[in-house]
Amino acid sequence: MKFQFILFGMLGFVAANCGTAIAANSRQDGSADKFPVKPIRFVVGFPPGGGNDALARLVGPKLSEQLGVSVVVDNRPGAGGNIAAELVAKAPADGYTILIASSSHPIQGLLKPGLPYDPNKDFSGIAELVVYRSLLVVYPGLPVKTVKEFIGLAKFKPGQLNFASSGNGTGSHLGGELFKVAAGVDITHVSYKGGGQALLDLITGRVESMFSPLVPVLPHLKSGRLRPIAVTSLTRSRLMPELPAIAESGLPGFEYVAWYGVMAPVATPRSVVSRLNQAFNNVMSLPEIDESARLQDMDITRITPEKFDQVRRDMIPKWEKIIRNPDFEGKQNLGK
């Protein structure tokens, strides 16, 4: 009897611990009916005031309402967003640490070999939030008003014109490099540590052109301190419908649009990814979010995590051709 008591006691102990282990695994799996149960950390790789920070702070409170927990925006600037990306890549894969990033994220490995994380293998896409166009803008002292005139001047003065960017590998850099290849021109890239400094030097004529989202340059366009030339999307801007697309101004088929999206560590349970995707898509469907995006010349997108992963994968071969081009410039930095 004593032996039986000990045996049954051991079996009970094992069963209890198995039950505990199963429950723990269930919590780790983060099934959608249990997630979330604590605050979510929404990591931004740039200082407050930038495009991805503004978007994170716009959707964060609405996401909190959708999920019933706090959503805390955590700015971790540095290394062109790579400090934040590494932090999220190495965070617990439970859905409680997520990253908002731009369309330059998937190609960081091409731009900066030797990163301590893999931009593609270490992340699962949650949701693409918005896509947006850029504008080719110039210093008013530059004697050009159209894309054809800009290309003509660049060919007449190879290597003498330049374009500013908010940093190597950022959208303003990549847009310029794509334009160089499409137009067959030699324009020098000048990299800064942020868009604000780049715009300041553009306004004062220290640099001559830039590919920028509309909102940061709009006040300067209205004041006449910058001149708009064309938009980089195939369609015209809702906010400046009089401005032609580059594709209709001498470079047929030219298109450069960027996106902001949200990612999680790659091992995050699919049920959690799906739950977050649903919540983000619900947020982006809200009329006030749609109106705010339109005022910033952004188009809202609502796609599945699988589709967003495909969007990210499709960028690699396209941009690899551009980045491997001998004329690609990514090392100059006037803003040090």
Average the pLDDT over 183-205 and give the result: 92
Higher-confidence residue of 168 and 177: namely 177
What is the set of domains in the chain, with CATH numbers? 40-131+259-323 (3.40.190.150), 135-248 (3.40.190.10)
Partner residues linked to 224 by β-bridges = none
Q: What is the pLDDT of residue 32?
A: 57
Least confident of 80-84, 93-97, 166-170: 166-170
Average the pLDDT over 78-99 and give the result: 94
Give Cα 160 distance to the centre of its chain: 31
Is residue 78 very low, low, confident or very high in pLDDT (cuts 50, 70, 90)?
Answer: confident
Higher-confidence residue of 46 and 233: namely 233
Tell me the C-alpha distance between 32 and 26, whole Å: 11
Average the pLDDT over 150-167 and give the result: 95
Tell me the C-alpha distance between 168 and 181, whole Å: 17
Residues 9-59: tens digit of each pLDDT? 443 443 444 444 433 343 444 455 689 999 999 999 988 877 888 899 999
Average pLDDT value for the chain: 88
Least confident of 9-13, 41-45, 117-121, 323-327: 9-13
Dihedral pair phi/psi, residue 102, rounded to 5°: -105, 180
Does the structure show a pLDDT above 50 at 305?
A: yes
Count CB atoms within 10 A of the CB of residue 232.
25
Least confident of 20-34, 111-125, 192-206: 20-34
Tell me the C-alpha distance between 206 and 140, whole Å: 12
Residues 205-230: tens digit of each pLDDT? 999 999 999 988 999 999 999 999 99
Q: At what angle do helices 270-284 and 51-67 cross, to 10 degrees?
A: 110
Mark residue 47 as left, alpha or beta (left: phi above 0; alpha: psi -120 to 50; beta: remaining).
Answer: beta
Mark residue 95 as left, alpha or beta (left: phi above 0; alpha: psi -120 to 50; beta: remaining).
Answer: left
Tell me the residue length of the chain: 336
Q: Which residue has the tokens 């209890």?
A: 16
Cβ atoms 210, 219 nearer than 8 A: no
DSSP-assigned letters across all residues of 29-61: HT-TTT--SS-EEEEESS-TTSHHHHHHHHHHH
Q: What is the pLDDT of residue 31?
A: 52
Q: What is the pLDDT of residue 29?
A: 44
Does the structure show a pLDDT above 50 at 303?
A: yes
Least confident of 10-24, 248-262, 315-329: 10-24
Does the structure show a pLDDT above 70 at 96?
A: yes
% residues pLDDT > 90 (the chain)? 74
Q: What is the pLDDT of residue 316?
A: 92
Cis ω before 36 (30° cut-off from 0): yes
Q: What is the pLDDT of residue 97?
A: 98
- Tally DSSP H helices, then E strands, for the chain: 11, 11
Tell me the C-alpha distance between 20 and 77, whole Å: 40
